[in-house]
Amino acid sequence: MKIFIFFSVYNRIYEEDKKGFVKSIVISAFPLRKDIQEMIAHKIIYNNKKKFHIINQIDPSIIGGFLFRIGYKEWNFSIQEQLFHIQKNIFH
């Protein structure tokens, strides 16, 4: 198990440093076209020299919008999140 984790971390570092790829995840309520995924990545991360390896995960519970993740960072532009903030402001 430790060898797999080490290899996984090494592979991620190699792809980011040597190949210039950044692994990212876009979570949406329905599948997004590749060009839309890339536009989202480049709008959030302003470095146009970066190449993104984007995984599009589907989660209907977010209702609409999307979540964008790179490593431990997350940008939440989902309808579910917006409704949560509205509910929080109304009842507190």
Instruction: Report pLDDT for 91.
Output: 84
Predicted confidence (pLDDT) per residue in 10-69, tens digit: 666 666 656 667 889 999 999 999 999 999 999 998 766 678 889 999 999 999 999 999
Predicted TM-score (pTM) of this structure: 0.73
Predicted confidence (pLDDT) per residue in 58-74, tens digit: 999 999 999 999 988 99
Instruction: Report pLDDT for 66.
Output: 96
> Would you mind telling me the total number of residues written for the chain in this entry?
92
* Structure-model confidence comparison of residues 52 and 6, the more confident one: 52
